[in-house]
């Protein structure tokens, strides 16, 4: 750390081995996929316009990997060359998992400042989940009570989201709540309606059976799908079927 009394600021240099490994894995994954895509495009027969569009799509899909690759498109024919920016890659490697924090809390312990920073990223992730995965926004309600109810339900959903993250950390590390919810989306509830000979309709509410991968996940999380509910007849159907 470096204290600057004239400015009343404190600079803290922080380095995390876990974050170095995490960020390096993310960069390697993007670079590997981008490199494979460029190799695939190099072997395709495309017009100049098609090549530019596909390269633009690759750039949008792998932004961090694109910054590490120099792509040159030929002006006269639909071909291109690409090479790895080794100097840029070494620079990125030196910065992975390393942070320079600036604060006016000059009397605080640097370790405590790092914990504050981690809490800040957790708060930002919470707002991202609320606005994205849980769709708290936009709010179309007009009355204050309904707006508060909307936010309250979203807060409860976020509590479940955090609880699921804690369960995954203990029983299925490597999975995120978002990926788990996507897996659970494959399980659907359906209503099967069976007409009877006396004019009534029996409704069977059934959920689809989970795939083997999802069954394993349920076992790891110690969760069970609810039992298939019994057949039912709606009140209107029952009244219609009752003799007068």
Residue 4 scores a pLDDT above 60:
no
pLDDT at 5: 54
Q: Which of 148, 166, 150, 155 is nearest to 129 (CA)?
A: 155
Measuring CA to CA, which residue among 106, 101, 92, 83 is closest to residue 26? 92
The band of 80, judged by pLDDT with boundaries at 50, 70 and 90, is: very high
**Inter-residue contact 200 to 206 (CB < 8 Å):** no
* 228 vs 243: which has the higher pLDDT: 228
Q: Is the dihedral of CA 143, 146, 152, 153 positive or negative?
A: negative
- Beta bridge partner(s), residue 13: 100
pLDDT at 137: 66
pLDDT band at 69 (very low <50, low <70, confident <90, very high): very high
Burial class (CB in 10 A: 0-12, 13-18, 19+), 83: exposed
Q: Tens digit of pLDDT for each residue in 115-167?
A: 888 877 777 777 776 667 666 667 677 888 888 887 788 788 888 888 888 88
């Amino acid at each position: 750390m470096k204290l600057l009394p004239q400015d009343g600021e404190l600079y803290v240099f922080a380095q995390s081995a876990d974050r170095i490994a995490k960020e390096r894995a993310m960069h390697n994954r993007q670079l590997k996929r981008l490199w494979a895509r460029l190799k695939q495009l190099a072997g395709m027969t495309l017009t100049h316009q098609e090549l530019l569009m596909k390269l633009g799509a690759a750039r949008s899909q792998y932004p961090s990997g694109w910054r590490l690759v120099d792509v040159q498109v030929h002006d006269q024919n639909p071909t291109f060359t690409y090479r790895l920016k080794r100097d840029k890659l070494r620079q990125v490697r030196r910065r992975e998992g390393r942070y320079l924090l600036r604060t006016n809390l000059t009397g605080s312990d640097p370790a405590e400042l790092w914990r504050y920073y981690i809490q800040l990223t957790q708060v930002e992730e919470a707002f991202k989940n609320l606005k994205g995965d849980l769709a708290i926004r936009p709010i179309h309600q007009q009355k204050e009570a309904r707006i508060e109810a909307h936010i309250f339900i979203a807060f409860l959903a976020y509590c479940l989201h955090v609880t699921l993250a804690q369960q995954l950390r203990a029983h299925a590390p490597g999975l995120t709540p978002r990926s788990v919810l996507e897996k659970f989306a494959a399980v659907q509830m359906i209503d099967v309606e069976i007409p009877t000979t006396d004019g009534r309709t029996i409704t069977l509410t059934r959920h689809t059976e989970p795939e083997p991968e999802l069954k394993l996940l349920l076992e790891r999380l110690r969760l069970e799908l609810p039992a298939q509910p019994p057949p039912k007849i709606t009140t209107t159907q029952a009244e219609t079927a009752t003799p007068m």
